[in-house]
Amino acid sequence: MIPTSSSEAGAPFRHLLSIDQLSVEQIEQILATADSFREVGTRTIKKVPILRGRTVCNLFFEPSTRTRISFELAAKRLSADVINFTAGAKTSMSKGESFKDTALTLQAMGVDAIVMRHSSSGAPQRLSQWVQAGVINAGDGSHEHPTQALLDLYSMRERFSSLAGLKVGIVGDILHSRVARSNIKALKKMGASVVAVGPPTLMPGSIAGWGAEFSSDLDTVLPELDVVYLLRVQTERQSEQFVPTIREYARFWGLDRSRAQLLKPGALIMHPGPINRGVEIGSDMADLERSIIADQVTNGIAVRAAVLYLMLGPEDAPSTTETDLGSKLQEAPEPAPGSAFNPTSPTGGANGRRLADAPSVREQLERQGVIRE
């Protein structure tokens, strides 16, 4: 059986399929590692050679803008090679090739990690049983979207001293939302409380078992929240009419100007995207200073870079307690424009390991011309 935990694979995780598999310590490790890559993203030359020679495949069976491009940018900023595979008329799947055979084809091509989005819950788990590459769940049906939850934790942590004790309201189509499931799990692990708000018809019957409160009255809940997290109505996953009209949904559960006035002064507005302006959020509300929707997108690149790094870093890396990636990258000056990588510098390592300190991270960056004294 392919391991998914650090104890089995010698790394934080071999695959990232669900928030359930992560401990609080592992979540903290991912967020701390993301700090380093967040800083790299502010440089003029936003690239480090940590995963040079590795190949990441984005295997998407559903439409995506933010997640797919975010993973692509994250991998490229770590110098990995990236393959974008979008299932459709231009692939062999249109000729009858099965999902398994497609997976085995990618495995035979030697990819090191597969980032997968699929409309069927559990598809990434099944993929992880067929391939040796690391698998990252980029959203599977209505099940989970773990990296979205991690980037949301990171975005909240930037503005609050601690996640513990926060009260977060997740508003909208909870029933069909993989983002809601992953966020509730992650927030509960980190000590926050969660209230799910929306029409009773869009609330799963098992919501109490998730550890979240439930309310259908948004106006009552808003003054208590530190974060209001809005979800769109996922009509593409609905086989029946769950609300009478979109206009009625916006009237009772949309965040408009009058409802925004009910929020605490420091409360944040968040949304995983894509936004339906005028439905779950008023057009002007999305552009308020307290709205951090754009920051979520920016932070998503850093968090996904951290996940890829922790999965694919070279094999003889010591633990992060021995080698502090954050301090090494943050101490590194911005690379000089025009500096190039040394194509003869050695790379390598096995999937599921961390960045080597042989030589040290800083020595590797200096050797490859990324850092210049």
Instruction: Of 101-105, 217-221, 276-280, give the range with the top mean pLDDT.
Output: 217-221
**Mean per-residue pLDDT for 156-178?**
95
Query: What domains sit in the chain, N to C, each tagged with a CATH number?
Result: 6-145+299-367 (3.40.50.1370), 160-291 (3.40.50.1370)
pLDDT digits (tens, 9 = 90+) for 130-141: 999 999 999 999
pLDDT digits (tens, 9 = 90+) for 344-353: 333 333 334 4
- φ, ψ (nearest 5 deg) of residue 110: 85, 25
* Alpha-carbon 72 to chain mean position: 12
Q: What percent of the chain lies above the pLDDT cut of 70?
A: 76
Lowest mean pLDDT among 100-109, 204-213, 234-243: 234-243
- More confidently predicted of 54 and 209: 54
Cα–Cα distance measured from residue 209 to residue 192, given in angstroms and rounded to the nearest whole number = 16
pLDDT digits (tens, 9 = 90+) for 200-235: 999 998 888 899 999 999 999 999 999 999 998 866
**Mean per-residue pLDDT for 92-111?**
85
Q: Is the pLDDT of residue 332 over 60?
A: no
pLDDT digits (tens, 9 = 90+) for 291-311: 999 999 999 999 999 999 999
CA angle 43–299–212, rounded 5-degree value: 165
Cα–Cα distance measured from residue 149 to residue 127, given in angstroms and rounded to the nearest whole number = 21
Q: Is the pLDDT of residue 356 over 60?
A: no
- Both tokens of 292, joined, read 């951090």
Assessment of whether the complete model's pTM goes beyond 0.75: yes
Please provide the DSSP assignment of 102-128 as one string: HHHHHHHTT-SEEEEEESSTTHHHHHH
Is 339 within 8 Å of 369 (Cβ atoms)? yes
Q: Are strands 55-60 and 193-197 parallel, antiparallel or unpaired?
A: unpaired
Place of tokens 């990441």: 56
For the chain, give the number of residues. Answer: 373
